[in-house]
A and B are shown apart, each in its own frame.
Chain A
Amino acid sequence: MLKQIELTGADVTKWMNWTSPAVLALSVTSAAHAVQYLSLEQAQKHAFPAATGFAVVQADRIWRAEAGGRLLGFFIFDRVIGKHLYIDYSIALDPAGRIRQVDILAYRESYGGEIRSPTWLAQFVGKSSTSPLQVGNDIRNISGATLSSHHVTEGVKRIMTIANRLK
């Protein structure tokens, strides 16, 4: 019995209520989250640092990375829907068509309901990886229930079914 009282006492001093949700609710209502990680050119350069040129295989989508006429691999740009908005990503393939790396180029998310606003959505229309997004400087570090990268993984699988036709 005594032990239980001691534990309860310790418990009370260890945990405290936190009460200012009203203030915080205000601070998180306008919360577009858009990150431009790499431009298309930067992603190409990082995937194939030795490349002297990128020859277009399919416009805005597939390039051959070359160095002095020699094939170094392929660079593919793709876009999938994340939770609500597009995720731009790139796949670098070696000359044999195997995946070398997948990079996220741009990631967009929304908080607090602005996804329902057409004007908010309009800012993304026509944006390609070559025209970086500028949604303020609202780059956020977010912790919480983990977001799945499932859509990107599925996108990579889809791309790999057509990548066999390259080379």
Chain B
Amino acid sequence: MRTASNSIRRARPLLGTFVEIAVADAALPAMHAAINAAFAVVRQVHELMSFHEEGSDVSRVNREAWARPVRVHAWTFQVLQTAIELHQRSAGAFDIAVAPVLQAMGLLPLALGDQLPSSDVRASSEAIALLPGRRVRFRHPDTRIDLGGVAKGFAVDRAVDALREHGIAAALVNAGGDLATFGPRAHAIHIRDPRAPDCLLCRLNVISGALASSAGGFDPFVSSHPKGPAIIDPRRRKPPRAILAATVRAPSCILADALTKVVMVAGRSAAPILEHYRAGALVLLADGRVQMTCDFESATCLAA
């Protein structure tokens, strides 16, 4: 969004990255009030879903959900429901219970008193039971969850809700590359080239909806290890090799965020799940080719 006289743009460090919110077509005080409210919900999502913050829902669940059911915030429960559905529909390519594998690889820290899980730990979302009353129970003592693959996208969706509730008609929310936009304008979105992060791979025009990108590189909200890969194939327990980067367009940012991981891991066979969620993808293959689903071009309009 161009910073015209009737638009503003602000940024805060949240979710381990820079969250940027641009709004337009409203009075200046109303735009600032809406942005403040949107940042507040992003911060709330961060506090609920951070793996690193001791008081987060995620940390409480990881500490206690094997011993007893743990009641969580409605937003955390909603993210868990979406994550488990994605796990089932992706045949395990997306898995929030991959945390022990990431811990064993040194990509996530161990909680105080936690043992490094044995190598045969069942790292699978099937080990998570969602009970009535927004309660979570683990079926296996070594289960640990990490919402790093969906929380950023979910936070963007909640920020969009907050802006709409404040009467904003046009906005763009970008949480370190996971973004959503609404309103009459088309937004030019530049995709970073993972082979040379100082360069841009291409430009997309997005009118409304969500877009997220993942690459083999470091993701600060997922990994505390700056050299570590952001994405691990939960079934092979290794970083994906065939695909260097994936960008997904979807109706919501939580889906776009999660589906980038599915595409990174499952590759071309992710087509049916993309179709199910009315999503499209653009991928950079290890051999340098760029491929996309047929609907991606018409929905986003690649621009030279």
Contacts and interface: CB of A to CB of B under 8 A. Distances in A.
A149 B17 contact: yes
A97 to B, nearest CB: 19
Contact of B17 (A111, A115, A146): A146
Contacts of B304: 20, 23-24, 27
B291 interface: yes
Nearest to B15: A149
Given A141-B179, A143-B211, A15 B198 contact: no
B134 interface: no
Contacts of A15: 268, 271, 291-294
Given A111-B198, A143-B178, A148 B17 contact: yes
B155 interface: no
Q: How large is the interface on A (under 10, 10 to 19, 20 to 34, 35 or more residues)?
A: 35 or more
Given A142-B177, A143-B247, A152 B13 contact: yes
B189 A104 contact: no
Contact of B291 (A18, A46, A104, A115): A18
Interface stretch (A6-14, A66-74, A118-126): A6-14
A107 interface: yes
A7 B274 CA distance: 15
Nearest to A141: B189
B234 interface: no
A84 B197 CA distance: 12
Given A111-B198, A111-B200, A113-B198, A144 B13 contact: no
A139 B197 contact: no
Nearest to B217: A145
A149 B220 contact: yes
Given A18-B282, A139-B2, A144 B215 contact: yes
Interface string A13-55: 1111111110110011001000101100000001000000000
Given A15-B292, A104-B18, A112 B198 contact: yes
Contacts of A103: 10-12
A15 B197 CA distance: 25
A150 B17 CA distance: 8
Interface string B227-258: 00010000000000000010100000000000
Contacts of B176: 146-147
A140 B188 CA distance: 8
The 3 A-B pairs of least Cβ separation, nearest first, read A144-B192, A149-B13, A104-B11
